[in-house]
């Protein structure tokens, strides 16, 4: 033990110098960290000022709840939009109309054929044949642009016009 005491006494100035150097480095590191902490605190206070919340955790929880609500609303809107788009494909919105004189020289252009179809060419063809004494209306169903009943030339033209509007 006395040898250790003798060794320390001989190199006491060196030990004190090394310890002071380490303490000085630690002080410098402490002041730089304190400066960084103060900058971070100022930024935090600036961010939180005017937000009406006490801490960042409450703010983040509120934002997460708002985001969840927005995502739920978005999903509901997407479902409504998908449903609407699916319904639009089945809407009979494509129309073709042909007016003609069914009886040549004796009538006028008051006869017509109208085709009303959806995106799948399903629908109906209505034909009205007019003369001075009577008027006749015929309806023929369409599936994929074809009918189980014989179609007149004018009805085929109306179907073609409706398909061009798709």
pLDDT tens across 137-159, in order?
Answer: 999 989 888 888 888 888 888 88
CA distance 137 to 153: 16
pLDDT at 114: 93
3-class DSSP assignment, residue 124: strand
pLDDT at 44: 81
How do the domains of the chain map onto residue ranges?
A: 1-49, 94-164
pLDDT at 72: 94
* Phi, then psi, of 52 in degrees rounded to 5: 75, 15
pLDDT at 8: 80
Residues of the chain with confidence (pLDDT) below 70: 51-53, 105-107
CA distance 133 to 112: 17
Q: Do the beta carbons of residue 48 and residue 56 sit within 8 Å?
A: yes
pLDDT at 130: 84
pTM of the model: 0.52
3-class DSSP assignment, residue 126: strand
Beta strands 94-100 and 123-130: pairing type? unpaired
pLDDT at 24: 96
């Amino acid at each position: 033990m006395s040898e250790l005491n003798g060794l320390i006494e001989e190199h006491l100035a060196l030990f004190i110098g090394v310890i002071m150097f380490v303490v000085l480095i630690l002080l410098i590191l402490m002041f730089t960290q304190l400066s960084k902490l103060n900058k971070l605190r100022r930024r935090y206070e600036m961010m939180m000022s005017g937000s009406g919340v006490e801490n960042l955790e409450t703010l983040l929880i509120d934002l997460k709840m708002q985001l969840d609500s927005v995502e739920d609303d978005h999903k509901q809107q997407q479902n409504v939009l998908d449903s609407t788009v699916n319904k639009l494909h089945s809407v009979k919105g494509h129309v073709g109309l042909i007016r003609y004189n069914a009886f040549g020289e004796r009538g006028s252009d008051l006869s017509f054929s109208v085709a009303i179809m959806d995106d799948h060419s399903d629908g109906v063809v209505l034909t009205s044949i007019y003369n001075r004494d009577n008027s006749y209306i015929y309806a023929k169903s369409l599936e994929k642009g074809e009918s189980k009943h014989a179609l007149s030339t004018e009805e085929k033209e109306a179907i073609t016009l409706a398909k061009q509007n798709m």
